[in-house]
């Protein structure tokens, strides 16, 4: 009795399959153009099939046929080729004395080089299925297409900025239809671009806001842009220039009142004394900066009241050369910065 029930169940399943129409569907894909793409042809109820002939029409100004890939394992020896007569199309043929049975799966992928613009992919006349009894099988054909885009839309591009050495800087972008960001930098006026990664200098490299910490004079004229993507297509923003003030530019920005005194002695070996005035209560920072704009050390970074002060700078482990030292004052009624040069003599440097 159990065997009879199982047999009836199998016969019912086969009847259901054969009772449904066979279908072939060309995939609709979206792409940004100028690259290779795969477009699948999916089929259902290709049962007891001994021969397949398909003709797929396309526009050669938008697509260039390369070959097919990932043919179904039921179809060994399947062939495809580009044709120009009687019309531009891809011809797909297969036949075997061993019938194929594909219930619901991919037939194959068509590989094209996609140029641009929307392009329809359609089944042309002459498509045919033949079963093992040499009977023609009617089947439903669903056309597809390659759609151009969609592309992200940039609303606001990053803008060029000017900062002083040792300051922080930032660039921002506003875009619609975007899920990803990648900031890039160029140090050769835009000829080559390098994708940024998170580190002590750059943060927010995959966000709409790029932050640059402790800008160096070496970064002067660096260019930055952002690649934005929606997961399908990417676009690039306009590039923005980072202008970094040179030492002479910074010195021209100092206050006429001299709160920061010249270090003594200068040049010096070993240790120098720096005197400074605080005009009122506020936060005082005194730092030493090298020629590239990199901060070497903070000598003072604390709240002070009005008065005269001095601080020592030990340069025993600093490479000899010309340096800047900078006073930044943040008070209730005024903020200002002053910068002066110092020279560390060669004999001051000892190997570490």
Distances (CA, A) of 89 to 161, 203, 245, 279, 314: 54, 51, 62, 84, 80
> Does one domain contain both 27 and 143?
yes
CA gap 144, 148 in Å, rounded = 13
Q: How far apart are CA 202 and CA 211, in angstroms?
A: 6
pLDDT over threshold 70, residue 1: no
Q: Say if residue 311 is in the same domain as residue 298.
A: yes
Mean pLDDT of the chain: 88
CB atoms within 10 A of CB 266: 15
Q: Are residues 123 and 179 in the same domain?
A: no
Residue with tokens 């040069």: 341
Render pLDDT for 286-342 as a digit per residue (tens, 0 to 9).
999 886 677 889 999 999 999 999 999 999 888 888 888 999 888 887 888 888 889
- The answer to whether position 194 is within a domain reads yes
Judgement on whether residues 26 and 142 belong to the same structural domain of the protein: yes
Together in a domain, 144 and 158: no
Tokens 């209560």 correspond to 281
Read off the pLDDT of residues 167-197 as tens digits, 9 standing for 90 and up.
Answer: 899 999 999 989 999 999 998 888 899 999 9
Q: Would 127 be classed as within a structural domain?
A: yes
pLDDT tier at 139, thresholds 50, 70, 90 = very high
Same domain, 257 and 278: yes
**Of the residues 222, 245, 268, the one at which a domain ends:** 245
Same structural domain, 200 and 230: yes
H or E stretch covering 15: helix 2-18
- CATH number of the domain at 222, please: 2.60.40.10
Q: Where a domain ends, among 148, 183, 203?
A: 148
Domain boundary among 199, 214, 245: 245
Which has the higher per-residue pLDDT, 33 or 2? Answer: 33
Tell whether 14 is covered by a domain: no
CATH number at residue 266: 2.60.40.1220
325 and 234 in a common domain:
no
Residue 29 is part of which domain span? 21-148
CA dihedral in degrees (31, 32, 36, 39; nearest 10)? 10
My answer on whether 219 and 335 are in the same domain is no
Average pLDDT over residues 32-61: 96
pLDDT in tens, 191-245: 899 999 999 999 999 999 999 998 888 888 999 999 999 988 999 999 999 998 8
Q: Quick check: is 31 in a domain?
A: yes
Residues 72 and 175 in one domain: no
CATH code of the domain in which 131 resides = 2.60.40.680
Q: Is the pTM of this model over 0.75?
A: no
Residue 329: strand pairing partners: 284, 336
Residue 23's pLDDT band (cuts 50, 70, 90): very high
Q: What percent of the chain has pLDDT over 90?
A: 65
Query: Is 6 part of any domain?
Result: no
Are 144 and 27 in a shared domain? Answer: yes
Give the pLDDT confidence of 70-122 residue by residue, as tens digits: 999 999 999 999 999 889 999 999 999 999 999 999 999 999 999 989 999 99
Q: Are residues 124 and 40 in the same domain?
A: yes
Q: Could you give the number of structural domains in the chain?
A: 3
């Amino acid at each position: 009795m159990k065997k009879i029930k199982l047999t009836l169940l199998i016969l019912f399943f086969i009847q259901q399959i054969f009772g449904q129409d066979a279908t072939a569907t060309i995939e609709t894909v979206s792409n940004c153009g100028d690259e290779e793409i795969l477009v699948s042809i999916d089929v259902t109820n290709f049962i007891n099939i001994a021969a397949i002939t398909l003709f797929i029409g396309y526009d050669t100004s938008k697509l260039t046929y390369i070959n097919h890939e990932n043919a179904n394992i039921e179809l060994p020896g399947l062939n495809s080729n580009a044709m120009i007569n009687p019309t531009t199309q891809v011809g797909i043929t297969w036949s075997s004395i061993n019938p194929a049975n594909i219930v619901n799966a991919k037939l194959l992928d068509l590989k094209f080089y996609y140029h641009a613009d929307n392009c329809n992919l359609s089944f042309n006349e002459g498509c045919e299925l033949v079963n093992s009894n040499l009977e023609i099988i009617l089947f439903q054909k669903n056309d597809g297409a390659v759609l151009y885009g969609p592309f992200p839309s940039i609303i606001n591009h990053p803008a060029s900025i000017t900062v002083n050495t040792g300051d922080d800087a930032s660039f921002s972008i506003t875009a619609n239809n975007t899920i990803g960001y990648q900031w890039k930098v160029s140090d050769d006026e835009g000829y080559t671009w390098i994708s940024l990664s998170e580190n002590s200098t750059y943060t927010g490299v995959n966000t709409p806001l790029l932050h640059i910490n402790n800008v160096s004079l070496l970064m002067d004229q660096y260019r930055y842009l952002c690649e934005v993507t929606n997961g399908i297509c990417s676009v690039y923003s306009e590039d923005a220039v980072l202008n970094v003030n040179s030492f002479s530019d910074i010195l021209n920005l100092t206050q006429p009142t001299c709160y920061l005194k010249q270090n003594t002695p200068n040049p010096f070996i070993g240790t120098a004394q720096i005197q400074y005035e605080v005009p009122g209560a506020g936060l005082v920072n005194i730092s030493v900066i090298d020629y590239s704009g990199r901060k070497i050390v903070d000598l003072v970074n604390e709240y002070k009241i009005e008065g005269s002060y001095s601080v020592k700078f030990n340069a025993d482990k600093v490479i000899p050369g010309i340096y800047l030292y900078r006073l930044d004052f943040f008070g209730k009624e005024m903020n200002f910065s002053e910068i002066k040069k110092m020279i560390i003599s060669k004999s001051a440097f000892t190997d570490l």
